[in-house]
């Protein structure tokens, strides 16, 4: 329904793990798209999420280069 923050807050207690990719086109989290992943990660941290996050995006290039965003965000 487009209300990502509310949905995370409401359903996180029932979540076993999270899978992510940018919308549209399943791009890397730091690619242009509809989802502000730094904000989403801050919501998850503030809610105390300590589970797994699966990366299901399509890398633009080499895998190592496609993971650079993790370091840039401090992970």
DSSP 71: H
Q: What is the predicted pLDDT for the residue at 57? A: 93
Within 10 A of 31 (CB to CB), how many other CB atoms are there?
Answer: 18
Q: How far, in Å, are 1, 34, 39, 48, 65 from residue 45 at the CA level?
A: 23, 20, 10, 5, 25
* Per-residue pLDDT at 2: 75
CA distance 56 to 73: 18
Question: What is the structure's pLDDT at 1?
Answer: 58
The residue ranges of every structural domain in the chain are 4-72
Mean pLDDT by 10 residues, the chain (75 residues): 89 96 93 94 96 92 87 87
Q: What pLDDT does residue 64 have?
A: 86
Q: What is the pLDDT of residue 74?
A: 85
The predicted pLDDT at position 75 comes to 84
Number of H helices, E strands in the chain: 4, 2
């Amino acid at each position: 329904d487009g209300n990502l923050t509310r949905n995370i807050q409401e359903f996180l207690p029932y979540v076993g793990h999270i899978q992510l990719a940018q919308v549209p086109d399943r791009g890397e989290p730091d690619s242009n798209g509809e989802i502000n992943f730094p904000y989403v990660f801050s919501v998850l941290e503030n809610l105390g999420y300590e589970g797994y996050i699966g990366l299901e995006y399509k890398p633009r290039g080499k895998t190592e280069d496609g993971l650079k965003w993790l370091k840039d965000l401090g992970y």
